[in-house]
Chains A and B, each alone.
Chain A
Amino acid sequence: MNTEMMMQLALIIAKILMVLLPVVGAVAYLTTIERKVIGYIQQRPGPNRVGFAGILQPVADGIKFIGKELIFPRMSNIYLFFLAPILSFAPAFVAWSVVPFDVGLVIADIDAGVLFVLAMTSLGAYGVLTAGWASNSKYAFLGAMRAAAQIISYEIAMSFALVGVLIAAGSMNFTEIVLKQQGGLFSWYWLPLFPLFLVYWISAVAETNRAPFDVAEGESELVAGFHVEYSGMGFALFFIAEYANMILISFLSALLFFGGWLSPFEGLGVLAEVTAFIPGLFWLLFKSAVFLFLYLWMRATFPRYRYDQIMQLGWKVLIPVALAWLPVVALMVKLGLLG
C-alpha cells in the first residue's frame, strides 16, 4: 500500500469519526435529557446528582453498563443472541454516512441517499427480530413479533410520505433535496407536504418503537419486550441504537421537510442580514433538537396505543392519507407551484 492510499484511508476514517463520535455523544446526552425533560413535565428536576446538575449522568450510566455481567439464557441460541445487538446497532450508525450537515459536509454524497436511509432503518428490524428469537423467552418473542409487524406496516406509510418529497424535489440526493427548498420558512416542504409531514412523523415515531407506539417494549405487559434477556453492554447497544435512530429521524425530518441547514429568515431582508452570521450547521442542529424535544414531549404526554389500534392507524389512516396527498403534490408540481 502506497502513502497516497494510506492518506486517503486516514482521511476516510477521520471523516467517519467526525460523524460517529458526536452522534455517540449526542446519544449519551439524549438519554439524560430525556429523563430531564420527562421529569420537568412531571414537575420534578430529573437526575441532578452526578456532577453539576447531572451533567455526568451519562458517564455514570456508561460505567454501570460496562461493569454489568453479560448473562446468556441457558436455552438461547448464543450466536444469534450475541449477533442481535450488533445487527440493530450497526445499521443505526451506517445510515449516518449519507446525512449531509451542510453543502459538501457529508461522508458519502450518493444519489440514492433517501433509499439508502430507508434500507438501513429497515435493517434495524432484523436486530429486534433476532433478539426476540434468540432469547428463547415468551416476552422477548412477543415483543419481537410486535416490533416486526409494526415496523413493516409503518415502513409503507413512511415510504409513501417520502415519495411526496421525492416528487417535489425530483431527486433522491439529500443535498439536492435541501437546496431545492431554498427561499425561507414558507418554501420548505413542510407547507406543501403538510399532511405527508404528519404521516412521516407519526410513522417515524412508530418506526423507532418510541412512545406512544412502544408496544415492542411494552413494560406493563411484556416486562421489557424484545430485550428482556439482555444485560450490560448487550442492552446498552440496543439502547444506543434506539437513540441513534431517534436522532437520525429528527435529522431526516429537518432535512426533508424543514430545509436542513437553510436559514428560516432567507429572503426576509433585514432579518436575513442580521442572522447571516449564524452557520447552517446551527440551524440543522436546532431543527433536529426541536424534533427530539417533540419525541420526548410526546412520550411524556400520550398513553401507549393498543396493538390493534396501531395496526388500524398504520393501514387504515396513514397509508390512505399519504396516497390521497400524493396526487395533490403531483398536481402542484405540474402546475408549477412546487419544485
Chain B
Amino acid sequence: MNQFYIILILAAFGLVFWLLRGKQWARQLLLLDFVRGLKVTLPYFFKPKITVQFPEEHTPISPRFRGMLALRRYPNGEERCIACKLCEAVCPALAITIEAQEREDGQRRTTRFDIDAFKCIHCGLCEEACPVDSIVLTSNMHYTMRKRGENIMTKEKLLAIGEAYESEIAACREVDKDER
C-alpha cells in the first residue's frame, strides 16, 4: 500500500513535467533527449556486425579489378607475347621496358620484359593495347617488396604470376567476354 502512494506521488510529479514538456527545462529534467539517444544506440548493439575479418575474409572483387600485372601463356605452354611493344608505347607511366630478338625457330620473342612495379599506376592501358591478350592485370593487390630491386618485375616473375593466376584470369575474361 505504501508503494502505491509513493508511485502516486512520483506519477504526479512526472505528469506535471510531462504537461510542461514543451518547455526546454522540463524536457531536460525528464532527460527525454537522453532516453531518445540511448534508444537509438541500443538496437545497434544487437545488429549483426559488418566487419570483414581481413586475413580470413575478403571483400568481393570485380572481374575487372586491376591489381598486379602478369604475362600469360597459350594452353600449349607457348608464351603469348610477340614483342609488338604496343604496351610499352601506351604506358603513361613508362613502367614497361621491352627488348626483343628473333628466336631460333624464326619467331619474334622478347628477351627482356621488365615492369617497374613502383612506376606502374595500374591503369590497364597495356592490357587494352595487347593484341594477343598476353599482358593482363590480376586481382592480386597484396604484394610486397622487401629488398631494393624487387620492384622490377622481370619476364620470369611475370610469367610465374600468370601461371599461378591462369585459372582466375581465364574465368574473369569469360565473365567479361561480351564487353571486350
Contacts and interface: CB of A to CB of B under 8 A. Distances in A.
A22 interface: no
A44 B42 contact: no
Contacts of B49: 39-40, 43-45
7 contacts: A42-B44, A43-B48, A43-B50, A186-B7, A191-B7, A297-B45, A300-B41
A301 B37 CA distance: 6
Given A44-B49, A328-B9, A187 B44 contact: no
Interface in A301-331: 301-302, 317, 321, 328
Main secondary structure of the interface of B (DSSP, over half): helix
A276 B51 CA distance: 42
Given A297-B38, A301-B40, A302-B34, A40 B9 contact: no
A41 B28 contact: no
A32 B40 CA distance: 23
A198 interface: yes
B3 A297 contact: no
Nearest to A40: B45
A28 interface: no
B107 interface: no
B32 to A, nearest CB: 13
B145 interface: no
Interface of B: 2-3, 5-7, 9-10, 13, 28-29, 31, 34, 37-38, 40-42, 44-45, 47-51, 53
Contacts of B37: 301-302
Given A39-B49, A43-B50, A328-B9, 10 more contacts: A37-B45, A41-B44, A42-B44, A43-B48, A43-B49, A191-B3, A195-B13, A297-B42, A337-B6, A338-B2
Nearest to B31: A198
A195 B47 CA distance: 33
Contacts of B10: 191-192, 194
Interface string A2-45: 00000000000000000000000000000000000101111111
B2 A337 contact: yes
A332 interface: yes
The winner among B3, B9, B29 for most chain A CB atoms within 10 A is: B3
Given A302-B37, A317-B29, A43 B47 contact: yes
Contacts of B50: 43-44
Contacts of A337: 2, 5-6
A298 interface: yes
Nearest to A185: B3
B38 A301 contact: yes
Given A45-B51, A194-B10, A337-B6, A317 B28 contact: yes
